[in-house]
Amino acid sequence: MIPLSLNRAAAAVGGRLLAEGCGDDLISAATIDSRSITGGELFVAIRGERVDGHDYAKAALDAGAAAVLIEDEDRARATGADPARLVWVPSTQDGLGALAKDNLARIRQVADPLVVGVTGSVGKTTTKDLLAAILAERGPIIAPPGSFNNELGLPLTVLRADETTATLVLEMGADRIGNLEHLTSIAPLDIGAVLAVARAHIGEFGGIENVAKAKSELVSGILPHGTAVLNADDHRVVAMAAKAPAVVTFAASGNGDVYASDIVLGADGRPSFTLNDGGSAVRVELGLVGAHHVSNALAAAAVARVAGLSLDAIATSLSGLGAASPHRMDVWHAGELTVIDDSYNANPDSMRAGLRALAQLSGEGQSLAVLGAMLELGEESDREHEAIGRELAELGIDAVIAVDAPGIAAGARSSGVDTREAASVSEAWPILLERASSGTILFKGSHGSKIWQLADRLKEQLC
């Protein structure tokens, strides 16, 4: 971030210092983790489910923080923190967003960063990672680690940018209407990409059309000179063009401005394709596993074309790129065992994509799916889980371990798939060990199902 004084920071977030004496001191960064403090940061005290950041106000200052952003004055003072370094706001989460908005506005006064946002029910993190690699050619780039895509992660990413930043890539997630309107108010976009409208968080949204409405908020958050990059293979995404100042489309089917042709899926599950744009074409060999990543690569390519990169430069960057964030189609090997770790999150569409990759990679060998529940599906939950169970048989998957997912187990068992059930990841662990010697295993489930813990534990055991 561009450093600013405590007085200026307090004004930017609509807060006030609790005492005089330090208002001219500078803050040079922001954090919500007191353990990361090295000196000069604004520590933002966030109330979590298990930990309240206010309890660490004095510890943060002792570690070198310049100040602490608080909403609970009594709790922060109780730690013995210096009131001259406490900035009170009604909401620390909102204050963090306001500080990030101010930082980006100040950067735009002295520089011309390209701000890119990516949303979609599936593929956000992978596409963000691809963009971080491709757009690095423009100069210094800031992109979030993992899935920093919510009301805390996005402003923390924006606050890492300064006047030297050439490109700011932001992943934008939503689990209810209004989320993306809020995030784009913090970081108005030069380019915004919408990947897909699928059945993620559908229980929270109340229907697929509300998912589309929520995703369209990103398009509304694009600046008047900006461009929306939209998936022409998704009719709900294409309909968002009416809200965009300008549009570039991409399509794996061949019907977009930027499109794929001659798609080939290798025996290792890695796709290759010809990248086409405006009469030019170049071959791309992806390092990512799964045919569904062609669409993610096309989205990244379309954004990069809008940003002014050549097709050859884009193809060079894309070719060979593998998974950059953990638990997202991360393929690793141990002896005769192949593991596909796609356990970060799941919805019906991404679950099917993962299962197709398992079927492809396993070939004639044994295939095992370790599947957790898909959360936030609302009244569709039972039907969707049973459908996934039945699809295991249709894809030729040999066996499944269903972890706290009785619907998947019921659907799989009724279709003749070798089915084991476990009530928890701890109960699933010995069942997994019995079968983790050879063949191919897929780990997949919503983050709250904790399937990723099984994937991590197996990797620690075997590697």
Q: Would you state the structure tokens that stand for residue 186, as one six-digit string?
A: 């913090």
Q: What integer is the mean pLDDT of 199-223? A: 81
Whether the pLDDT of residue 201 is over 60: the answer is no
Q: Using a pLDDT cut of 70, give the percent of the chain over it.
A: 97
Residue at token pair 């990516």: 118
Rounded Cα gap, residues 404 and 445, in angstroms = 10
Place of tokens 């990103």: 218
Band (pLDDT 50/70/90 cuts) for residue 324 is low
CA distances from 213 to 21, 65, 175, 205, 362 (A): 48, 41, 12, 10, 38
Beta strands in 120-270 (DSSP E): 141-142, 167-171, 189-194, 222-231, 247-251, 258-265
| Inter-CA distances, 20 with 72, 82, 450, Å | 19, 10, 47
Please indicate whether the domains covering 4-94 and 111-318 agree at the CATH topology level: no
Residue type, 324: A
Rounded to whole angstroms, the Cα distance separating 370 from 282 reads 37
Q: Mean pLDDT over residues 217-240, rounded?
A: 97
List of residues 6+ apart from 53 with CB closer than 8 A = 32, 34, 43, 44, 45, 46, 47, 92
User: Cβ distance 28 to 110 under 8 Å?
Assistant: no
What average pLDDT does the segment 427-433 reach?
A: 96
Q: Which residues contact 148 (CB under 8 A, 6 or more apart)?
A: 154, 156, 157, 171
- C-alpha to C-alpha distances, 192 to 55, 223, 304, 401, 442, nearest whole angstrom: 38, 9, 11, 39, 32
The yes-or-no verdict on residue 202 having pLDDT over 80 is no
Domain boundaries, the chain: 4-94, 111-318, 330-462
Query: What's the rounded mean pLDDT across residues 405-429?
Result: 96
* Alpha helices for 187-336 (secondary structure H): 202-205, 208-220, 235-238, 293-306, 311-318
50 or 199, higher pLDDT: 50
Instruction: Kindly tell me if the per-residue pLDDT of 410 is higher than 60.
Output: yes
Topology (CATH) of 111-318? UDP-N-acetylmuramoyl-L-alanine:D-glutamate ligase (3.40.1190)
Of residues 350 and 415, more confidently modeled:
415
pLDDT at position 205 is 57
pLDDT at residue 439, as a whole number: 94
Q: Domain 330-462 is of which CATH architecture?
A: Alpha-Beta Complex (3.90)
Q: How confident is the model at residue 122 (pLDDT cuts 50, 70, 90)?
A: confident
Class of domain 4-94: alpha beta
The SS3 call for residue 304 is: helix
Pair of tokens at residue 12: 């930017």
Q: Biggest alpha carbon distance in the chain?
A: 73
pLDDT at 171: 96
**What average pLDDT does the structure give for the chain?**
93
Kindly report, residue by residue over 98-113, the tens digit of the pLDDT.
Answer: 999 999 999 999 999 9
Sorting pLDDT into bands at 50, 70 and 90, what band is 321? confident
As a whole number, mean pLDDT of residues 257-283 equals 93
User: What average pLDDT does this structure show over 190-199?
Assistant: 91
> Considering only 11-25, 112-126, 201-215, 399-413, which range has the smallest mean pLDDT?
201-215
**In 307-450, alpha helices (H):** 311-318, 348-362, 381-394, 406-414, 425-435
Strand 271-277 with 67-70, pairing:
unpaired
Look at residue 116 and give its three-state secondary structure: strand
CA–chain centroid gap for 310, Å, is 26
pLDDT of the residue at 143: 95
